[in-house]
Amino acid sequence: MTTATSSPASALDAHLDAGARELLADTERRASEVFAPLARRGRDGEVDRALLAALAEQGLLARLLSRDAGGWRSEISALALCLIREGLARWCTAAETAFAMQGLGSFPLLQSGTREAIEEWIPRVASGEAAAGFALSEPQAGSDVAGLALSARRDDDAGGWRLNGQKTWISNAPDADVYSVFARTTPGAGARGLTAFLVPGGAEGLIGHRIELVSPHPIGTLVFEDVRVPPEYVLGEVDHGFAVAMRTLDMFRPSVGAFAVGMARAAIDATIAYTSEREAFGGPLARMQAVRHRLADVATRVQAARLLVHAAASAYDAGVSPTTEAAAMAKLMATEVAQEAVDAAIQLHGATALRRGHLLEHLYREVRAPRIYEGASEIQREIIARAMFARTEGR
């Protein structure tokens, strides 16, 4: 198996400083040498506990969740998050997914949880002992967060809350040890009537079911039957859960594009290697202009998407607000282009890439999901359009 090697800085990485380039190279090395062999022993659609432990041992989870004298916090920049996800995805998509889901599920707690809840759960998540899930979507409310219907009613006897309803397309479900759950506390109030809660995976009345996907991701459905949540497990303020969710998604959305870019780069790498060796019509496929130009077009579009991703992340890190439009552009272009890159790679490989277990067969199943996760491409286009017209109307 090919392994990652460090290479001199190129013009394609000139916008990154030396520390960022080193982070990317180090992540790629760990992904190819440590995580990829381990991930091959895991099972599709299930939380890989061994891989989570390795992500902790190799210091990746410590970049997401770190502790100092002031307590637990996350000091990772949005750009660093993107570089880690890109590097992992290029060499081990399972490690990338495990890393991203751990961050997505724990950030609401880290940012908005009580000290008691943070001290109880974040050390376990950071060590890889506990898997975290982000429970936002519902059967009738995916991209339309204002339509969430999972009910949270005050439990006067116990001083907490009771949750009833259903969540679906939930990361690490039904195997997660703890979930960040968004429920309706004020009926009819839209996005302003949501509250974020922390719910342990073993809570009484919580039932989970696995969803089998084309993509090999641990995703499931959760059913809440009078699940009790104590007051210390409220994340942030009551009826302000939408802000908790958006702070997490604003941080993670550009890095979904980085995940896609990593897969696209893996597809291009594989195609360069294959077409350089595959003989046809009297010479290597790579000598054919149609092959070379197709790869050149794809590589150019992938690099353009990569720059959009890095720019959106850098804007977030610089404190620019809002970065919603830039993040939407980055996610939209990166995920759409990645699909194109993998499809082109399969076409240039021919039937061999269709075999079960081939890298590109795996990437083809993987790359489809990011065009839907954390806001489908159609939603990103609407976000961009609204921002464009808002500027025009404001003149």
Q: Which two tokens mark 122?
A: 């974040």
Q: Which two tokens mark 36?
A: 């990829």
Q: Which two tokens mark 137?
A: 């979507």
Instruction: Please identify which residue in the block is written with the tokens 């429920």.
Output: 183
Strand partners, 209: 221
Q: Is residue 176 a contact partner of residue 133, using CB atoms and an 8 Å limit? A: yes
Q: Is residue 134 a contact partner of residue 182, using CB atoms and an 8 Å limit? A: no
- Tell me how long the chain is: 395
Q: Which of 119, 366, 374, 378 is catalytic?
A: 374
> E strands of 218-357, at which residues?
219-229, 234-235, 279-280, 283-284
Strand partners, 217: none
Answer whether the bond into residue 174 is a cis peptide, omega within 30°: yes
- How far is residue 376's CA from residue 331's CA, in Å, rounded to a whole number? 9
Instruction: Give the per-residue SS3 of 52-114.
Output: HHHHHHCCHHHHHCEEECCEEECCCCHHHHHHHHHHHHHHCHHHHHHHHHHHHHHHHHHHHCC
Between CA 233 and CA 184, with CA 104 as vertex, the angle to 5 degrees is 45
Q: Which two tokens mark 22?
A: 């080193």
| Sign of the dihedral defined by the CA atoms of residues 9, 12, 18, 20, in that order | negative
Q: Is residue 1 a contact partner of residue 64, using CB atoms and an 8 Å limit? A: no
Nearest partner of 45 among 374, 338, 369, judged by Cα: 369
Continuous segment of H or E residues that includes residue 163: strand 160-171
378 is catalytic: no
Answer whether the bond into residue 8 is a cis peptide, omega within 30°: no
Nearest partner of 174 among 41, 288, 67, 45, judged by Cα: 45
Residues marked active site are found at 374
